[in-house]
Chains A and B, each alone.
Chain A
Amino acid sequence: MNLEIGNFQVKNVQFGQTSSYSEGTLTINKEEALSVVFQDDHITEADIVLAKPGDDVRIVPVKEAVEPRFRLSGGPTFPGVTGKIERVGEGKTVALKNCSVLAVGKHWGSFGDGLIDMSGEGAKYSIFSKLNNICLVADTDEEFERHEIQKKNHAIRWAAHRLAEYLGSIVKDMTPESKEVYDLGPITKRDEKVSKLPSVVYVMQPQSQMEELGYNDLIYGWDTNRMLPTFMHPNEILDGAMIGASYMCCSSKWSTYDFQNCPTIKSLYKEHGKTINFLGIVMSNLNVSLEQKERAAMFVQQIATNLGADAAIIAEEGYGNTDADFIECFRLLEEAGIKTVGMTNECTGSDGTSQPLAALDESADAIVSCGNVSTLIELPAMETVIGELESLMRDGLSGGWEDDDVLGPSVREDGSIIMANDSMFCGDSVLGQSIKTVKEF
């Protein structure tokens, strides 16, 4: 499959009469953009607010991030979400780089939502602090989950994908400033030089632990809870086949933006044909019962073995219970003689003394650690809040709390906050962006 992503580097975003792009400046006709958002009757209120790096701005509760893209083949940019099912990963797609559409609750947050600071100390915790953020701030009539800790956030997340596709369409007829080409042929049709290199699969374990549909990561619009591990082409991941979930503790979460820009896929592509033969993706999932976990790990082992993989990278979107899926998969890959490196974050407690993963096995001898979910973060007030600051402590966000005997509430009267890294928006970037690690002290 051959995928060409045509890039436009967005340096500045503004509102204007006509939606357009010129020399790094993206101009958005707000009314037109909002009409795309309001295509769903469940959106009751919506506004678009801009935030750029360096602004004295805090954004919370953030539910999803999407890179504005448009598929030039005519099919939907996010199959199964913004349109019918059509295979992606082949042909041409245009992308507005250096920016993202954020789905932000106007009032209400949920367990998997996160926080982004656009400047100051808090800005180092999320890659989204470095992007020009186009914040869709909205409320919905989804009363059934209004006061639930776990929310599907369907209307606002889907609206963010539509908005991202709309923004991407602005540059659909323009010549990209730069191009990224991802070309990877069928495994058995590769030339001898490549075939002789050590073969590598990338095993992804997206979040799928909610048994009820509507919360988990989607694969072509299909709930990943209802799948067995399968083989995918890396271009499909880079081109909108995977949609982020509304469930996992936020720093562990993989947003749609993270899938679209998956750094580990890009790093493996870079080595393909030089040091490795990149076979592709084994798309697994994360499960609840032990039997489900074992079945999925067994399938991963089987697929990797029969593809002839010599080595694997495995990444999990979560921690705690999901460490069992991660470690079992790691163990079975090693058992099959497949040299494996794992990518995860840890939960060592705010004092760092707890066991880092809930499951451990000696076979997991090569792990890249992307952060500690329980790191305590104290931040001063910001001048402007996009969304509603109280949601951090009120609505069950994984890294916030209403009160604590020692620490007090997460949100203080003066607007300063204390929170766990858990709620930093996609902060541990286990898909590969993380410049954090965990060290012994």
Chain B
Amino acid sequence: MKKGILYLNQFFGQIGGEDKADFAPVIKEGVVGAGLLLNNLLEDAEITHTVICGDNYMGSNEKEAVEEILGFLEDKEFDIFFAGPAFQAGRYGNACGVICKAVKEKFNVPVVTSMHEENPGVDMFKKDVYILIGGDSAAKMRKDMPKMANFGNKLLKNEEIKGAKAEGYYPRGIRLEVFLEDETPASERAVNMLLKKINGEPFVSELPIPKLDRVPIAPAVNLADAKIALVTSGGIVPVDNPDKIQSSSATRWGRYSIEGLDRLGNKAEGAFKTIHAGYDPAAADADPNVVLPLDALRAYEKEGKIGSIHNYYYATVGTGTAEGEAKRMALEIIEHLRNDGVDAVILTSN
């Protein structure tokens, strides 16, 4: 009998709700909560252990959490690792992706999780792990968990994996040639596709061009009343870079006060600098306002052209940064901006 281990968050691991989100990771023997369903559906395997970790704990202490969990697993024998399903829960999705990727890298066993398409974890981790296409809420547990079990059974039996669409996981960015079972020649496929295109019927391209995620222009705001925030991917941070934002491939962002400042002081004054590795920092270090134009915006504020400037600005680094990471950081920043009643954002790069 093969062995599997399941990762659950504090809620599905029956520790508690949002108040227990800081719960540090534990490993328990056997199955807990939703794990029972998974265990019942595995054909020639059992869930021997369950790892439970609070979503916030994983989110804010990722390195420690991963180390602790990998430590738990070191002396365990297992053939497969499951996490979730995480549905549309962003922090849980992130946790499932982080731990699956780490387990796969360290132990070289197949890893399987499940998320809803809008879970930011999908874009962040689909290239690294099998993420099955899941429902948007825990109400879909009875659908998503069996999918994880079925796919796990296939992996454990070394059955042929017939591609992302056929198996129901998010494409991992791997494209391989296959011989079509029905042997329909390319000429017929092309003419059929053309007829559908001509007739305005839906068709499926065999080589989907990656979609550019175009954002529509935001509705206009009344500037004279608007509270405006400055956000930058140009890497402008306080000189000691308190949040240790990376100089490239950033996964972190920072929130810094500019309350009462007419302009950003420079590096020589011990105030602000850039940590962005993708452009010559000289000009930005000499005058950070060229990247984050606080000076100009203050002038508008005094003229009454804009209502006010938000007391905090947000910064990250936009070089080598994965699209998925950028999206996740934006969604996290937006939550703060909304809570602070910001009406509009000026986003600057470098």
Contact = CB atoms under 8 A, between A and B. Distances in A.
Contacts of A267: 187-188, 190-191
Contacts of A270: 191
Nearest to A344: B207
A435 B207 contact: no
A276 to B, nearest CB: 7
B185 interface: yes
Given A370-B186, A430-B186, A441 B179 contact: no
Contacts of B203: 366
Interface string A327-369: 0000000000001110110101001110011001110111111
Nearest to A339: B197
A263 B172 CA distance: 33
Interface residues on A, range: 35 or more
B292 to A, nearest CB: 33
Interface stretch (B66-74, B145-153, B209-217, B328-336): B209-217
Given A441-B164, A441-B175, A432 B195 contact: no
Contacts of A372: 175-177
B194 interface: yes
Given A339-B198, A439-B176, A268 B191 contact: yes
A270 B194 CA distance: 14
Interface string B204-224: 011101111000000000000
A367 B179 CA distance: 17
Contact of B177 (A264, A268, A341, A421): A421
Interface residues of B, number: 36
Contacts of A441: 161, 163-164, 171-172, 174-176
A438 B194 contact: no
A198 interface: yes
Interface in A151-205: 198, 200
Nearest to B176: A352
A311 B198 contact: yes
B158 interface: no
A211 interface: no
B179 to A, nearest CB: 6
A266 B190 CA distance: 12
A436 interface: yes
Contact of A371 (B177, B185, B190, B210): B177
Contacts of B161: 441
Contacts of B183: 435
A5 B76 CA distance: 70
Nearest to A271: B191
A438 B198 contact: no
A309 to B, nearest CB: 11
B206 A369 contact: yes
A301 interface: no
B324 to A, nearest CB: 16
A434 B186 contact: yes
A365 B191 CA distance: 15
A233 interface: no
A313 interface: yes
Contacts of B302: none
Contact of A435 (B176, B185, B194): B185
29 contacts: A263-B187, A264-B190, A266-B187, A267-B188, A276-B194, A310-B198, A313-B190, A343-B190, A346-B175, A346-B207, A351-B174, A361-B209, A362-B212, A364-B207, A365-B205, A366-B194, A367-B209, A368-B186, A372-B176, A432-B186, A433-B187, A438-B176, A438-B177, A439-B177, A440-B164, A440-B171, A440-B175, A441-B161, A441-B172
9 closest Cβ contacts across the A-B interface? A432-B187, A440-B171, A263-B187, A439-B163, A367-B207, A352-B174, A372-B177, A369-B206, A264-B187
Interface of A: 124, 198, 200, 263-264, 266-268, 270-271, 275-276, 310-311, 313, 339-341, 343-344, 346, 348, 351-353, 356-357, 360-362, 364-372, 375, 421, 429-441
